[in-house]
Structure 1
Amino acid sequence: MAGYDMTTTSNPNTAVPSAGNNDLIYQLDDRPAFAPAIFAALQHVLASFVGIITPTLIVGNVLGLGAYVPYLVSMALFVSGLGTFVQAKRIGPIGSGLLCLQGTSFAFLSAILSAGMIVKSRGGSPEEILSTLFGVCFCAAFVEIAFSQVMTKLRKIVTPVVTGTIICLIGLSLIKVAMTDIAGGFGAADLGALHHLGLAALVLTTIIVLNRFQSQVVRLSAVIVGLALGFAVAWFTGRVDFATMAEVPLVSVPVPFKFGFSFDWLAFVPIAVIFLITPLETAGDLTANSIISKQPVKGPLYLRRIKSGVLADGCNSAMAAVFNSLPMTTFSQNNGVIQLTGVASRHVGYYIAAIFIILGLFPTLGAVLQLMPKPVLGGATLIMFGTVAVAGIRILAEAGLHRRNVLIVAISLGLGLGVAAVPGALSQMPDFLKNIFGSPITIGALSAILLNMFLPEEDLEQEEDDYEPESHLHTVLQNPQDDEAQALAPNLEAAAKLN
């Protein structure tokens, strides 16, 4: 933090910044003074804020949840604070003990929307939709909790080609949501009007321009600035109405399962599949975080951190469902903030948690964000969803696109995108199978996993040569003492998710 006084106070409980030949001002277990700690915490909050609230805004808009959206946004911030505290503090075996931020995951968005549509198609009310979503997410979170205990043993089933295919499919299947918002939103009478497209173009252009700056601070704030500018223009042109703000309560009280608890197998399956994929991305983020924080990336301490961090992901997602929010995962954005600030202290995580919890208790913020015109949101989410797809492509490229892998990817993407484009193709199936295989994520994931298991290897020795250790966490988990794999580990962040 150039130009900022990083010296500590005379408080005996405050550690002096660690010295050394690295670029960290505060190490993992250092205790920064209040001023530098809160300053670093605010940068983490700004870098992740949009990613935390956007999935909830999209779900609320698409499923027609209306008046409940401000409360849901508040709960998303509230549980992000609780989850961040658990990861940083490490409660028993739960939590990585790193400065890693928890937030709502984009990876689940497509499956969540499909689950909500199943209930809505039956004539379900918004309360019934939310009851089913949170009930299903609570149960599905235990898939990740169980997976965290055996993830090293399943590396031959959920390989980089499977992970990359599913992540790519998640991003591509969400592009339709972003483009619909750009055009004016679902059900808009003037869908595709030029004023919608112009507003989205303004947001998109702003984000692109700011991302080209050399300053990391400017780049980290690009999405927030783009959304703020689009919102301001919409306000000045009379497209934002604050009349409904008077009805918003002053405080949001977290109520466990406020909308009830329901379960639906058809909604459960696609969400459970995603809970098998996000642990691998979380492991990549935690590895990158360990490297940036100057922590070991081999040996028992590292493996314990991975296992405990993924376990915390699952437990935090279950907790999120209890408090009426969507599944959570670790965010990769804060790795860049650690590099920017030089502050890797996990104690900063407590400040981040406190800020999110305070923000979550006041629904006014969520009510204002709900007023954001859909083209403004679409201009930003188009980039986000496209980047998710690109992250999947990068994993596939690093895994090696030889003949066998190309076949797996081509069939899986073809099936997933095919049923999304032509849902009538499954119209003659029984309803149970139609609802399961009608989800692009489910059919694509099952296809990738089954093909990966049963297609014979063309040349095992050659494929091992082609598979580079940096392509994913699998090699590190398989050979934690391999110095060459650890030397290449910094590239794991390229395979990490973004939220």
Structure 2
Amino acid sequence: MSDESELIYKLDDNPSNKESFFAAIQHVLASFIGVITPTLIIGGVLGLGDEIPYLISMALMVSGVGTIIQAKRPMGIGAGMICVQGTSFAFLSSVLAAGFIAKANGGGPDEILALIFGVCVLGAFVEIFVSQFVDKLKRVITPVVTGTVITIIGISLIKVGFTDLAGGQWLLTNKPELFASFDNLFLGALVMISIIAAHKYGNQWIRLSSIIIGMIVGMIAAMMMGKVNFSAITHVESVISLPIPFKYGFSFDIAAFIPIALIYLITAIETSGDITANCMVSKQPIAGKSYIKRIKQGILGDGVNSLIAGVFNTFPNTTFSQNNGVIQLTGIASRFIGVWIGAILIIMGLFPHIGALFRAVPNSVLGGATIIMFATVAIAGVKILTHVELNRKNMLTLAVSFGMGLGVLLVPEVVNTISVNIGGDLGAIVKSIFGSPITASGLSVILLTLFLGDYPEQYNPIIQDFPIDEEISKGIKN
């Protein structure tokens, strides 16, 4: 593109098949790792083992179906734009907490996944409901609330990434003498250095693919060091993965549901920011009735896609932001590209060997990439908070909320002891709500925002709450 502010193909243009395919491939490359990484992390931490390839297949297929729904907007569901779908890192802590609840009750992989998908299916209705009132929630969902929760999410996930970098949770539990070995730390550091180098010396396409590049470099080094478990690939029995509704069953636990429901609320607002950025780079209105309608339908699409995800054995879906950068770089905003992206993801999901290949990636390689990705989530939250006026009310709200969230994260024994003293189902509920740093800080910041203060009426949280990728901001300035 000679002028980044111009579009080669506008929202309703339909490029040729050749142009559509190559544009779609670029979107898939930008989002592929983001689509499968949450499944890899959840599967590894919860010890889901042989189920991981199937779960990755379902993540790809449902991501593809959700992306097509967002692009085609059937029955008014979806934003009618290129909104690539995948599991947000915001859900990881709450999903892992639900899995640990099932595991603590003696459940195996089937019971763990039945509980996770059960609460995720029901939680999707929270986002579906919120989608119809998102423009009326600005008194509750302010930059203080979203910034605090997203920052705490990122901070709490860094522990997961750093544990993987040193070898993974299984190694820490079963073979602690090998945890944080030189080999593991070398591989994790190599991935991180490769990602940094791609950002410093690469062009825009290399920067967009930096996570993939880093993991490929780490994987090659791991193969040379004999650290890749090829049996994970060769032992896959089925050639095709077929979606089976509720393959692992369906169960529910209120203690697991509450944190998930809170994250659905937060991601609904996050999606509105991503769609707003998409509107900007796609030259669509960011004010007025048509804009609000698009936001509502986009969040509704996220909710419906998350419902489909839970039914077909994968984790909640939300709109990815990195694909807005691809639109800006290519100058192709055509929503028909979304159909091509979805079709490619569905085809990839049909083959479980793709999931098995990523299961063979050593934890330290994955950790080298995810620690950067998780820290970026925290920084995004901090960036939101830079829009906040640090007056007396906001400072008190932030202090209490961060104090509660970080306190629970650093000293979990406090909540554990309280829940034991209470005992019974009530004790379990208290532990689930206040034992998660996300819900502890999230509920604190929401209640204090309602009790202490209001945000200026002229502030539009849908447009201004969320940071925009660097590549996108350049086009907006132009």
Report the TM-score, using the length of structure 1 for normalisation: 0.88
Separation in structure 2 between the aligned mates of residue 251 and residue 79 of structure 1, nearest angstrom? 15
The residue type paired with residue 93 of structure 1 is: G
* Deviation larger for 352-361 or 410-419: 410-419
Which whole-Å deviations, capped at 9, do the CAs of 1:241-285 have from their partners, x for residues lacking one? 212323212110100110011111110000000011001110011
Q: Where does residue 468 of structure 2 map in the other structure?
A: 493
Separation in structure 2 between the aligned mates of residue 179 and residue 298 of structure 1, nearest angstrom? 42
Native 8 Å contact 2:94 2:260 kept in 1:
yes
Determine which of 160, 174, 180 is the counterpart of 1:177. Answer: 160
Separation in structure 2 between the aligned mates of residue 448 and residue 435 of structure 1, nearest angstrom? 18
Q: Where does residue 92 of structure 1 map in the other structure?
A: 75
Separation in structure 1 between the aligned mates of residue 465 and residue 336 of structure 2, nearest angstrom? 24
Cα–Cα, structure 1 residues 388 and 409, in superposed 2: closer, same or farther, change >3 Å?
A: same
Separation in structure 2 between the aligned mates of residue 153 and residue 287 of structure 1, nearest angstrom? 17
Matches within 5 A, 1:29-178: 29-178=12-161
Cα–Cα, structure 1 residues 195 and 138, in superposed 2: closer, same or farther, change >3 Å?
A: same
Q: Where does residue 347 of structure 1 map in the other structure?
A: 336
Q: Where does residue 437 of structure 2 map in the other structure?
A: 440
Q: What is the DSSP-based 3-state SS (H/G/I as helix, E as strand, rest coil) of the residue aligned with 2:229?
A: coil
Q: Which runs of 5+ in 1 are unaligned?
A: 3-19, 458-462, 477-488
Determine which of 412, 437, 447 is the counterpart of 1:423. Answer: 412
Native 8 Å contact 2:153 2:438 kept in 1:
yes
The residue type paired with residue 183 of structure 2 is: H
Q: Which runs of 5+ in 2 are unaligned?
A: 471-478
Separation in structure 1 between the aligned mates of residue 262 and residue 432 of structure 2, nearest angstrom? 14
Separation in structure 1 between the aligned mates of residue 63 and residue 35 of structure 2, nearest angstrom? 8
Which whole-Å deviations, capped at 9, do the CAs of 1:150-178 have from their partners, x for residues lacking one? 11222101211001000000000001001
Matches within 5 A, 1:463-482: 464=456, 472-473=461-462, 476=463
RMSD of the alignment, in Å? 1.8
Separation in structure 2 between the aligned mates of residue 90 and residue 323 of structure 1, nearest angstrom? 21
Which whole-Å deviations, capped at 9, do the CAs of 1:379-421 have from their partners, x for residues lacking one? 1001111010011001111122232212212211221121122
Determine which of 356, 369, 388 is the counterpart of 1:367. Answer: 356
Q: What is the DSSP-based 3-state SS (H/G/I as helix, E as strand, rest coil) of the residue aligned with 2:82?
A: coil
Separation in structure 2 between the aligned mates of residue 123 and residue 52 of structure 1, nearest angstrom? 29
Q: What is the DSSP-based 3-state SS (H/G/I as helix, E as strand, rest coil) of the residue aligned with 1:464?
A: coil
Native 8 Å contact 2:110 2:248 kept in 1:
yes
Q: Where does residue 476 of structure 2 map in the other structure?
A: none
Separation in structure 2 between the aligned mates of residue 452 and residue 22 of structure 1, nearest angstrom? 38
* Deviation larger for 207-216 or 134-143: 207-216
Separation in structure 1 between the aligned mates of residue 388 and residue 299 of structure 2, nearest angstrom? 23
Separation in structure 2 between the aligned mates of residue 428 and residue 492 of structure 1, nearest angstrom? 38
Report the TM-score, using the length of structure 2 for normalisation: 0.92
Determine which of 179, 185, 199 is the counterpart of 1:191. Answer: 179
Q: What is the DSSP-based 3-state SS (H/G/I as helix, E as strand, rest coil) of the residue aligned with 2:355?
A: helix
Q: What is the DSSP-based 3-state SS (H/G/I as helix, E as strand, rest coil) of the residue aligned with 2:80?
A: coil
Aligned residues: 456
Q: Where does residue 321 of structure 1 map in the other structure?
A: 310
**Percentage of matched positions with identical amino acids:** 53
Native 8 Å contact 2:143 2:465 kept in 1:
no
Q: Where does residue 200 of structure 1 map in the other structure?
A: 188
Q: Where does residue 451 of structure 1 map in the other structure?
A: 448
Cα–Cα, structure 1 residues 22 and 159, in superposed 2: closer, same or farther, change >3 Å?
A: closer
Spell out structure 1 runs of 4+ moving beyond 4 A.
Answer: 489-492
The residue type paired with residue 445 of structure 2 is: A
Native 8 Å contact 1:143 1:272 kept in 2:
yes
Q: Does 1:407 align with 2:407?
A: no
Separation in structure 2 between the aligned mates of residue 142 and residue 321 of structure 1, nearest angstrom? 11
- TM-aligned CA deviation for residue 126 of structure 1: 0.7
Q: Where does residue 475 of structure 2 map in the other structure?
A: none
- TM-aligned CA deviation for residue 212 of structure 1: 1.8
Native 8 Å contact 2:148 2:401 kept in 1:
yes
Cα–Cα, structure 1 residues 376 and 22, in superposed 2: closer, same or farther, change >3 Å?
A: closer
Native 8 Å contact 2:117 2:315 kept in 1:
yes
The residue type paired with residue 468 of structure 2 is: E
Native 8 Å contact 1:394 1:494 kept in 2:
no
Separation in structure 1 between the aligned mates of residue 381 and residue 418 of structure 2, nearest angstrom? 32
- TM-aligned CA deviation for residue 468 of structure 1: 6.0
Cα–Cα, structure 1 residues 21 and 211, in superposed 2: closer, same or farther, change >3 Å?
A: closer
Separation in structure 2 between the aligned mates of residue 468 and residue 364 of structure 1, nearest angstrom? 49
The residue type paired with residue 421 of structure 1 is: L
The residue type paired with residue 436 of structure 1 is: I
- TM-aligned CA deviation for residue 456 of structure 1: 4.2
Q: Where does residue 206 of structure 2 map in the other structure?
A: 218
- TM-aligned CA deviation for residue 494 of structure 1: 5.9
Q: What is the DSSP-based 3-state SS (H/G/I as helix, E as strand, rest coil) of the residue aligned with 2:318?
A: strand
Native 8 Å contact 1:399 1:468 kept in 2:
no
Indicate the structure whose relative CO is greater, using CA pairs within 8 Å and at least 6 residues apart: 2
* Deviation larger for 206-215 or 275-284: 206-215
